[in-house]
């Protein structure tokens, strides 16, 4: 497998475009992804009961098992909590692109991200779609522009692609994502759009995406908030022309492995771009009695505001980690817990088999100076493990979100 520094237009047959159409003052705010050949697709959607208009419609299309050709995304406005007007405007987005590309409306899905509760300026979006679809391309700049157009408070765009072999055919997966705040492991809690030219059945694509999401986007946390618009979408147009993957054979697991690489890297990019974040934190749990317990422990540590603020202050307050583990609901023996901190500046053991270690505060401070830190936790309750990613909580996070509508 080769990891490439490209995005959604890397797989065969996919085109994209990103443009400024007026929802934001200057930056790009409309993206389109298109494949001429119809694509089977899978989606994972927010678990927030309050769902934005695009999510409601996309779930309906997904349940109808339609193939799709295109996705249209706007940033700068979430089209959430906008009532019947929001539903109509979202349908207009799909209808407009469908007409421009000579498609059926149900072959187009939609996505919006931005401020909740503000009516979508649909006239600008309609005109933007009509002026932008002519610029669809498979070149590198097309991918870059689309990734930029879905950003909100992100400081950098997020793209990745991979290349691998199935049946002596070259298969590729490309991805772009946005996310910086309102990130919490309760589905994907951001937007991620994936393209692939693999030939795969709908059932196997759905299975692969759900499993991959659970080990990637569901294992990240920035601030504990689950948004109204979040989804992961993957389109597979089959242009790699490999033998169809319709069961969990070796080809399926090869595809799933590549999909995991894409999703985990995008997930980590989101955390590293967390609003106001100064530390990237990886939590490793080893020796849990069940997979579920290992994930619960991991997520509880990453979601703890006290743990986050301790890392912002570069304070080796491991007691906050034990506390977060204790209220998580997972089962473990507190008398057999080992905790270590690791970074490029060294490592330090803080607890060994349930016994606190008198550690050198200067060494701990040196380890915690790094921008990327690993919390390694060894249990003695079983053989299961999990890895998750998060960040610290800073003054800057409060400033950014306090001024979000300003």
Give the CATH number, domain containing residue 393: 3.10.20.340
Instruction: Give pLDDT tens digits for 153-209.
Output: 888 999 999 999 999 999 999 999 998 644 444 433 479 999 999 999 999 999 999
Same domain, 204 and 263: yes
**Would you state the pLDDT for residue 181?**
47
Q: In what order do the strands lie in the sheet with 220-221?
A: 220-221, 384-391, 280-288, 372-378, 338-343, 346-352, 355-356
**Would you state the pLDDT for residue 49?**
85
Domain boundary (250, 272, 294) is at: 272
Same domain, 286 and 260: no
Domain boundary (272, 299, 329) is at: 272
**Would you state the pLDDT for residue 183?**
42
The answer to whether 238 and 71 are in contact (CB under 8 A) is no
Domain total in the chain: 2
Q: Is 8 helix (H, G, I), strand (E, B) or coil?
A: coil
Burial call 159-192: b when 16+ CB within 10 Å, e when fewer: bbbbbbebeeeebbbbbbbbbbbbbbbbbbbbbb
Same domain, 204 and 353: no
The residues annotated as belonging to the active site are 189
Q: What is the domain-level CATH number for residue 124?
A: 3.60.70.12
Beta partners for residue 358, in sequence order: none
**Would you state the pLDDT for residue 262?**
98
**Would you state the pLDDT for residue 400?**
65
Please give the chain's pLDDT, 406 residues, in tens: 999 989 999 999 999 999 999 999 999 999 999 999 999 999 999 878 889 999 999 999 999 999 999 999 999 999 999 999 999 999 999 999 999 999 999 999 999 998 889 999 999 999 999 999 999 999 999 999 999 999 988 889 999 999 999 999 999 999 999 986 444 444 334 799 999 999 999 999 999 999 999 999 888 876 555 557 788 999 999 999 999 999 999 999 999 999 999 999 999 998 888 766 789 999 999 999 999 999 999 999 998 989 999 999 999 999 999 999 999 999 999 999 999 999 999 999 999 999 999 999 999 999 999 999 999 999 999 999 999 999 888 777 677 667 655 5
**Would you state the pLDDT for residue 405?**
59
**Would you state the pLDDT for residue 182?**
42
Between the CA atoms of 237, 238, 239 and 244, what dihedral angle is there, to the nearest 10 degrees? 180
Same domain, 164 and 21: yes
Q: Is 194 helix (H, G, I), strand (E, B) or coil?
A: strand
Same domain, 292 and 315: yes
Same domain, 50 and 159: yes
Same domain, 94 and 181: yes
Instruction: Give pLDDT tens digits for 366-380.
Output: 999 999 999 999 999
State the alpha helices, DSSP H only, in 184-239.
202-214
Name every residue whose Cβ is closer than 8 Å to that of residue 244 and which is 6 or more positions away in sequence.
199, 200, 201, 238
Pairing type for strands 30-45 and 68-75 reads: antiparallel
**Would you state the pLDDT for residue 403?**
66
Provide the 8-state DSSP code for 243: P
**Would you state the pLDDT for residue 376?**
98
Domain boundary (214, 239, 272) is at: 272
Distances from the Cα of 182 to the Cα of 52, 230, 333, angstroms: 15, 10, 33
What interhelical angle do 53-63 and 83-101 show, nearest 10?
A: 60
Q: Is 153 helix (H, G, I), strand (E, B) or coil?
A: coil
Report residue 127 CA to chain centroid gap. 29
Which residue segment(s) compose the domain that 376 sits in?
280-402
């Amino acid at each position: 497998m080769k990891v490439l520094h490209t995005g959604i237009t890397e797989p065969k047959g996919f085109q994209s475009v990103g443009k400024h159409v007026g929802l934001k003052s200057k930056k790009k705010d409309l993206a389109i992804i298109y494949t001429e050949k119809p694509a089977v697709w899978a989606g994972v959607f927010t678990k927030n009961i309050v769902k934005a208009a695009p999510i409601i419609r996309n779930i309906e299309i997904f349940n109808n098992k339609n193939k799709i050709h295109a996705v249209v995304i706007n940033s700068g406005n979430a089209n959430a909590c906008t009532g019947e007007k929001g539903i109509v405007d979202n349908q207009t987005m799909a209808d407009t692109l469908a007409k421009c590309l000579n498609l059926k409306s149900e072959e187009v899905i939609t996505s919006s991200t931005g401020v909740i509760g503000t009516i979508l300026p649909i006239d600008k979006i309609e005109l933007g779609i009509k002026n932008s679809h002519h610029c669809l391309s498979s070149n590198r700049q097309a991918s870059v522009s689309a990734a930029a157009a879905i950003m909100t408070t992100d400081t950098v765009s997020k793209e990745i692609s991979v290349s691998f072999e199935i049946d002596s055919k070259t298969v590729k997966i490309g991805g772009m994502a946005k996310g910086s705040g309102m990130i919490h492991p309760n589905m994907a809690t951001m937007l991620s759009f994936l393209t692939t030219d693999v030939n795969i059945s709908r059932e196997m694509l759905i299975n692969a995406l759900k499993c991959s999401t659970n080990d990637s986007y569901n294992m990240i946390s920035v601030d504990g908030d689950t948004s109204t618009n979040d989804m992961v979408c993957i389109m597979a147009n089959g242009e790699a022309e490999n033998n169809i993957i319709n069961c969990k054979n070796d080809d399926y697991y090869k595809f799933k492995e590549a999909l995991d690489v894409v999703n985990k890297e995008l997930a980590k990019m989101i955390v590293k771009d967390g609003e106001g974040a100064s530390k990237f934190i990886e939590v490793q749990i080893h020796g849990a009695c069940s997979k579920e317990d290992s994930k619960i422990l991991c997520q509880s540590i990453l979601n703890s505001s006290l743990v986050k603020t301790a890392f912002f202050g570069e304070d080796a307050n491991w007691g906050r980690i034990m506390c977060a583990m204790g209220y998580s609901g997972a089962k473990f023996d507190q008398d057999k817990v080992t905790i270590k901190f690791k970074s490029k500046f060294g490592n330090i053991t803080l607890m060994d088999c349930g016994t606190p270690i008198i550690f050198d505060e200067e060494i701990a401070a040196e380890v915690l100076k790094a921008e990327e830190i690993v919390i390694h936790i060894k249990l003695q309750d079983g053989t299961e493990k999990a890895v998750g990613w998060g960040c610290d909580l800073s003054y800057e996070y409060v400033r950014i979100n306090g001024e979000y509508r300003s």
